[in-house]
Structure 1
Amino acid sequence: MNADALLLVLAGAFLHALWNFFAKKASGGIPFIWLYGLVSLACAVPFGVLAWFQTPQTLGVSAWVAIAASAAVHVVYCVVLQKGYQQGDFSVVYPVARGTGPLVAVLGAVLVLGETPGLPGWSGIGAIMVGILLIAGVHRLLRTTEHRLRKGVMWGVLTGVSIAAYTVIDGWAVKTMGVSPLVYYALGLAVRTVLLAPVALRAPHVLRDQWRRHRRYILAVGVLSPLAYTLVLFAMTRAPLSFVAPVRELSMLLGTLFGASLLQEKGLVSRMAGTAFMLLGVVILARA
């Protein structure tokens, strides 16, 4: 992975952890998702239009299928993530989701896109996966009978599967078909907004209440979420998806810090060990 792609992924990881922390603080439902989606759409459309005029593209049937499929999976992702934040702890849902996602995404990249990471790439991916498992505290999750913890694991896994699905779809669109990341993302946001509108608009008073109580979180998530993901889309055009997907999970490092310092989470020793494995994996991937 070259330096430009690595920097793009690292910046995206930082912003991703930040907006997820804000989403956890709000713990809203579909009205919250739709409102921050409107903010994201307002931010993304000008850049998408500019990219369209700078590099005119003809979007074929395959491109529109990818846009529609990605939008639908993103809707599922947003809903199950918010469910997880409502019913589980941030330090459980977030790492489990981010750990499950790249594992399935790498397999999808190999099977669907035909990518071959090679021995150094697989070694780096393996080190990051071990780090993810340690940070998530899987040994503790498997032993516990705590209802909230098990709920967090369940929603985290479902979120991770949806992450893997849209990552492979988006990699196919921007890498294989050559669709502009900015155009692709703006169109995907528009489709998502349309898909969620019937549910979100059924109760205008709930939308007003969400805006009144969570305005700062709606604005923060609405701005940071598209920025973080657009950086990753650009990284996909410069490096194999099977490298990009695991490296972006460095956002878990910040998630661990947020959990320890702001949410008083435990498991420091295993998470420090996991951090060491993840950093080793990133070094290996950067030199691969």
Structure 2
Amino acid sequence: MNTTAFVLVVTGALLHALWNLCAKKASGGLHFVWLFGVVSLIVSFPFGWVAWSEHSQQLGVQAWLAIIASGIVHGAYSLVLQKGYRESDFSIVYPLARGTGPLFAVLGAIIVLGEAPSLRGWLGILAILTGIFLISGAAQALLIPSPRARAGLLWGAITGLFIASYTVIDGWAIKALGIAPVLYYVLVLALRTVILAPQALRNPDALRTQWSANGRYIIAVGVLSPLAYILVLFALTIAPLSYVAPVRELSMLLGVLFGAKLLRESFSLSRGIGTACMVAGVVLLAGIQ
């Protein structure tokens, strides 16, 4: 992975961790998700308009199929994630979702896009995935027989599958079809917002309450989320998806550090080992040109 792609992905991971920190503090549900999606759409619309004027000729049949598929998957991902949060703990669902996502994405990149990581690439990917597994606490959760923990593992893994699905679709759209990243992202975001709108608008009082209670977090997430994702899309134009997908999961590492320092969450030995594995994996991938 070259230096430019590496910097883009790491910066995106930092922004991703920051907006998730804001989302966790807000502790919102569907209405929170829809509201920050609207903010993201408003913020990114001017850039999308410019991208449309310059790159609309790229939007052939396959491009629209990719946009529609990604929008649907993103909408389903949001709903499944909310289901997981209702059924189990955030500390189980979110890390497992983010951890299994790159695993499925790497497999998808190899099978669908025909990418073939080198030995060093495989070692880096394996180290990062091992770190994700340890940091997420999945090993401890597997030993807990409670229905709530099992539900968290189930919904976390299903969410990870959706994450991998839209990552592979986006990789195909950006790399194979050559769609401008900003144009693609804004169109997918608009479609996702439309998909979630009926359920969100069904309860206007809940929307007003959510905005009143968490307006500052809605704005923060609405701005940071699209910026983080667009950086990743640009990275996909110059680096293999099978390298980008695992490295972007540095957001989990940063999330653990933010949790320990800012939220005073525990930082166990297994999480420390996981952190070391992720750092080693990133070093391996960063040295690949």
TM-score where L is the length of structure 2: 0.94
260-269 vs 163-172, which moves further: 260-269
Q: Which residues of 2 match residues 120-159 of structure 1 at below 5 A?
A: 120-159=120-159
Q: Which residues of 2 match residues 111-260 of structure 1 at below 5 A?
A: 111-260=111-260
Amino acid at match of 1:14: L
The residue number in structure 2 matching 1:102 is 102
Cα distance in 2, alignment partners of residues 33 and 135 from structure 1: 25
- Per the TM alignment, residue 265 of structure 1 is displaced from its structure 2 partner at its CA by 3.0
The residue number in structure 1 matching 2:269 is 269
Deviations 1:74-101 (A, max 9, x none): 1112222233344444432222111100
- Specify whether residues 45 and 210 from structure 1 end up closer, same or farther in structure 2 by C-alpha distance, changes over 3 A only: same
Amino acid at match of 1:248: R
- Specify whether residues 190 and 59 from structure 1 end up closer, same or farther in structure 2 by C-alpha distance, changes over 3 A only: same
- Per the TM alignment, residue 173 of structure 1 is displaced from its structure 2 partner at its CA by 0.3
Cα distance in 1, alignment partners of residues 286 and 263 from structure 2: 32
Amino acid at match of 2:171: G
200-209 vs 74-83, which moves further: 74-83
- Segments of 5+ residues of structure 2 without an aligned counterpart are none
Amino acid at match of 1:95: P
Cα distance in 1, alignment partners of residues 167 and 117 from structure 2: 17
Deviations 1:195-223 (A, max 9, x none): 11111112211111111111111111111
215-224 vs 44-53, which moves further: 44-53
The residue number in structure 2 matching 1:20 is 20
255-264 vs 154-163, which moves further: 255-264
62-71 vs 15-24, which moves further: 15-24
Cα distance in 2, alignment partners of residues 6 and 259 from structure 1: 24
Amino acid at match of 1:91: S
Query: What secondary structure, in the 3-state scheme, does the structure 2 residue paired with 1:57 have?
Result: helix
Q: Which residues of 2 match residues 1-80 of structure 1 at below 5 A?
A: 1-80=1-80
Cα distance in 1, alignment partners of residues 33 and 208 from structure 2: 13
- Segments of 5+ residues of structure 1 without an aligned counterpart are none
Query: What secondary structure, in the 3-state scheme, does the structure 1 residue paired with 2:199 have?
Result: helix
Cα distance in 2, alignment partners of residues 155 and 270 from structure 1: 23
How many residues align structurally?
288
Cα distance in 2, alignment partners of residues 137 and 35 from structure 1: 30
The residue number in structure 2 matching 1:91 is 91
Instruction: Provide runs of 4+ in structure 1 moved above 4 Å.
Output: none
Report if aligned partners of 1:95, 1:255 keep a CA contact under 8 Å in 2. Answer: no
TM-score where L is the length of structure 1: 0.95
Cα distance in 1, alignment partners of residues 201 and 262 from structure 2: 34
- Aligned-pair RMSD on alpha carbons? 1.6
- Specify whether residues 118 and 3 from structure 1 end up closer, same or farther in structure 2 by C-alpha distance, changes over 3 A only: same
Deviations 1:6-47 (A, max 9, x none): 000001111111112222222322222211111010111111
